[in-house]
Amino acid sequence: MDLKNLLDVLIEKNRSLISQGHVATYIPELAKVDPKLLGTAIVDKEGKVYSSGDSKVYFAIESISKTVVLALALLDNGEEEVFKHVHKEPSGDPFNSIKKLETEEDHLPRNPYINPGAIMMTSLIKGKDPDDKFNRILNFMKRISEDDTLTLGTETYLSEKRTGDINRALAYYMKGQGVFSENVEETLDVYFRQCSINVTVETLAKIAGFFARGGVLTTGERVISQRQAQIVTGLIATCGMYDQSGEFLDNIGFPGKSGVGGGILCPLPSKEIGVAVFGPAIDKEGNSTGGMGILKDLSDKLNYDMF
Amino acid sequence: MDLKNLLDVLIEKNRSLISQGHVATYIPELAKVDPKLLGTAIVDKEGKVYSSGDSKVYFAIESISKTVVLALALLDNGEEEVFKHVHKEPSGDPFNSIKKLETEEDHLPRNPYINPGAIMMTSLIKGKDPDDKFNRILNFMKRISEDDTLTLGTETYLSEKRTGDINRALAYYMKGQGVFSENVEETLDVYFRQCSINVTVETLAKIAGFFARGGVLTTGERVISQRQAQIVTGLIATCGMYDQSGEFLDNIGFPGKSGVGGGILCPLPSKEIGVAVFGPAIDKEGNSTGGMGILKDLSDKLNYDMF
Amino acid sequence: MDLKNLLDVLIEKNRSLISQGHVATYIPELAKVDPKLLGTAIVDKEGKVYSSGDSKVYFAIESISKTVVLALALLDNGEEEVFKHVHKEPSGDPFNSIKKLETEEDHLPRNPYINPGAIMMTSLIKGKDPDDKFNRILNFMKRISEDDTLTLGTETYLSEKRTGDINRALAYYMKGQGVFSENVEETLDVYFRQCSINVTVETLAKIAGFFARGGVLTTGERVISQRQAQIVTGLIATCGMYDQSGEFLDNIGFPGKSGVGGGILCPLPSKEIGVAVFGPAIDKEGNSTGGMGILKDLSDKLNYDMF
Amino acid sequence: MDLKNLLDVLIEKNRSLISQGHVATYIPELAKVDPKLLGTAIVDKEGKVYSSGDSKVYFAIESISKTVVLALALLDNGEEEVFKHVHKEPSGDPFNSIKKLETEEDHLPRNPYINPGAIMMTSLIKGKDPDDKFNRILNFMKRISEDDTLTLGTETYLSEKRTGDINRALAYYMKGQGVFSENVEETLDVYFRQCSINVTVETLAKIAGFFARGGVLTTGERVISQRQAQIVTGLIATCGMYDQSGEFLDNIGFPGKSGVGGGILCPLPSKEIGVAVFGPAIDKEGNSTGGMGILKDLSDKLNYDMF
Distance CA C25, CA C274 (A): 29
User: Which amino acid, one-letter code, is at B149?
Assistant: T
Which residue out of B260, B277, B288, B299 is catalytically annotated? B260
Helix (H, G, I), strand (E, B) or coil at A88: coil
What are the residues whose beta carbons fall under 8 Å from the beta carbon of D69, sequence distance 6 or more?
Answer: D118, D121, D122, D125, D137, D194
Residue of D nearest to A237 (CA): D238
Strand partners, A40: A52, A277
D3 vs C173, higher pLDDT = C173
Distance from B43 to chain C by nearest Cα, in Å?
17
CATH of domain A3-60+199-301: 3.40.710.10
Name the pairing type of β-strands B263-268 and C257-258.
unpaired
Residues of B in Cβ contact (< 8 Å) with C237: 237-238, 249, 306-307
* Cβ-defined contact of D307 to A92 (cutoff 8 Å): no
**A116-135 burial by CB neighbour count: b if 16+ within 10 A, else e?**
bbbbbbbbbbeeeebeebbe
Residue pair C253/C307 in contact by the 8 Å Cβ criterion: yes
Select from D103, D164, D173 the Cβ nearest to the Cβ of C169.
Answer: D173
Residues of D in Cβ contact (< 8 Å) with C184: 165, 168
Among A239-253, C59-73, D26-40, where is mean pLDDT lowest? A239-253
Model confidence at A136, pLDDT cuts 50, 70, 90, reads very high
Residue pair C198/C61 in contact by the 8 Å Cβ criterion: yes
- Of the options 3.30.200.20, 3.90.550.10, 3.40.50.620, 3.40.710.10, the CATH number for the domain spanning B65-195: 3.40.710.10
* B84 close contact with A: CB closer than 8 A: no
Nearest Cα neighbor of A176 from B153, C104, B171, D92 is B171
Distance CA A185, CA D276 (A): 49
Select from D97, D165, D184 the Cβ nearest to the Cβ of C102.
Answer: D97
pLDDT at D273 over 90: yes
What are the residues whose beta carbons fall under 8 Å from the beta carbon of D4, sequence distance 6 or more?
Answer: D50, D52
Report the percentage of chain B scoring pLDDT > 90: 84
Q: Which residues of D are identified as catalytic?
A: 63, 66, 191, 242, 260
What is the DSSP secondary-structure string of C102-123?
HHSTT---S-TTSHHHHHHHHH
pLDDT at C274 over 80: yes
Model confidence at B244, pLDDT cuts 50, 70, 90, reads confident
Which residue numbers of C belong to the known binding site for substrate? 63, 115, 160, 167, 191, 242, 260
Domains B3-63+198-301 and B65-195 equal at CATH topology level: yes
B191 is catalytic: yes
C-alpha B177, offset from chain centre: 27
Report the percentage of chain C scoring pLDDT > 70: 98
Distance CA D71, CA D55 (A): 25
In the DSSP assignment, the letter for residue B59 is E
Superfamily of segment(s) C3-62+198-301: DD-peptidase/beta-lactamase superfamily (3.40.710.10)
Q: Which of D194-203, D236-245, D293-302 has the highest mean pLDDT?
A: D194-203
User: Which amino acid, one-letter code, is at C216?
Assistant: V
Mean pLDDT, to the nearest integer, of A103-121? 97
Report the percentage of chain B scoring pLDDT > 70: 98
Nearest Cα neighbor of B88 from B200, B245, B294, B201 is B245
Report the percentage of chain D scoring pLDDT > 90: 84
- The pLDDT assigned to A158 comes to 95
- The pLDDT assigned to D307 comes to 66
User: B50-62: per-residue pLDDT in tens?
Assistant: 999 999 999 999 9
Report the percentage of chain C scoring pLDDT > 90: 84
Residue of B nearest to A178 (CA): B165
Mean pLDDT, to the nearest integer, of C100-115? 96
Residue pair C260/C282 in contact by the 8 Å Cβ criterion: yes
Model confidence at C21, pLDDT cuts 50, 70, 90, reads very high
Model confidence at C253, pLDDT cuts 50, 70, 90, reads confident
Size of interface A-B (CB pairs under 8 A): 66
Please, what's the largest Cα pairwise distance for chain C?
Answer: 57
Model confidence at B1, pLDDT cuts 50, 70, 90, reads low
User: D25-78: per-residue pLDDT in tens?
Assistant: 878 888 899 999 999 999 999 999 999 999 999 999 999 999 999 999 999 999
Query: What's chain D's average pLDDT?
Result: 94
pLDDT at D135 over 80: yes
What are the residues whose beta carbons fall under 8 Å from the beta carbon of A230, sequence distance 6 or more?
Answer: A214, A269, D250, D253, D305, D307
CATH of domain B3-63+198-301: 3.40.710.10
Query: What's chain A's average pLDDT?
Result: 94
Distance from A128 to chain D by nearest Cα, in Å?
32
pLDDT at B79 over 70: yes
The angle formed by the CA atoms of residues A203, A204 and A209, to the nearest 5 degrees, is 100
pLDDT at B304 over 80: no
User: CA-CA distances (angstroms) from residue C248 to C239, C256, C276, C296, C299?
Assistant: 10, 8, 15, 10, 12
pLDDT at D277 over 80: yes
* Cβ-defined contact of B172 to A165 (cutoff 8 Å): yes
- The pLDDT assigned to A227 comes to 94
What are the residues whose beta carbons fall under 8 Å from the beta carbon of B302, sequence distance 6 or more?
Answer: B268, B271
ipTM metric: 0.95
Select from A167, A173, A184 the Cβ nearest to the Cβ of B98.
Answer: A173
C253 vs A264, higher pLDDT = A264
* Cβ-defined contact of A102 to B99 (cutoff 8 Å): yes
Residues of D in Cβ contact (< 8 Å) with C171: 169
Which residues 173-232 of C are in CB contact (within 8 Å) with B?
A: 229-231
First to last CA, chain D: 26
pLDDT at A146 over 90: yes
What are the residues whose beta carbons fall under 8 Å from the beta carbon of C274, sequence distance 6 or more?
Answer: C42, C43, C204, C205, C206, C207, C208, C209, C210, C211, C212, C265, C266, C267, C268
pLDDT at A305 over 70: no
Can you say whether residue C267 is alpha, beta or left, with left for phi > 0 and alpha for psi between -120 and 50 degrees? beta
C102 vs D305, higher pLDDT = C102
Query: What's chain C's average pLDDT?
Result: 94
Distance CA B89, CA C245 (A): 7
Model confidence at C1, pLDDT cuts 50, 70, 90, reads low
pLDDT at D303 over 80: no
Question: Domain extents for chain C?
Answer: 3-62+198-301, 64-195
CB atoms within 10 A of CB D186: 14
Q: Tell the burial category of C181 from Cβ atoms under 10 Å away from its Cβ (0-12, 13-18, 19+).
A: exposed
Among C28-37, C174-183, D117-126, D189-198, where is mean pLDDT lowest? C28-37
pLDDT at C305 over 80: no
The topology (CATH level 3) of D64-195 is: Beta-lactamase (3.40.710)
Nearest Cα neighbor of C230 from C65, C1, C67 is C67
Model confidence at A307, pLDDT cuts 50, 70, 90, reads low
Strand D39-43: give its sheet, edge to edge.
Answer: D49-53, D39-43, D273-278, D263-268, D257-258
* A112 close contact with D: CB closer than 8 A: no
- The pLDDT assigned to D260 comes to 93
Neighbours of chain A (3+ CB pairs under 8 A): B, D
Q: Phi first, then psi: give them for residue D61, nearest 5 degrees.
A: -70, -30
Which residue numbers of B belong to the known binding site? 63, 115, 160, 167, 191, 242, 260
What are the residues whose beta carbons fall under 8 Å from the beta carbon of C13, sequence distance 6 or more?
Answer: C293, C297
Neighbours of chain D (3+ CB pairs under 8 A): A, C
CB atoms within 10 A of CB D135: 15
* Cβ-defined contact of A102 to B103 (cutoff 8 Å): no
pLDDT at D281 over 80: yes
User: C177-203: per-residue pLDDT in tens?
Assistant: 999 999 999 999 999 999 999 999 999
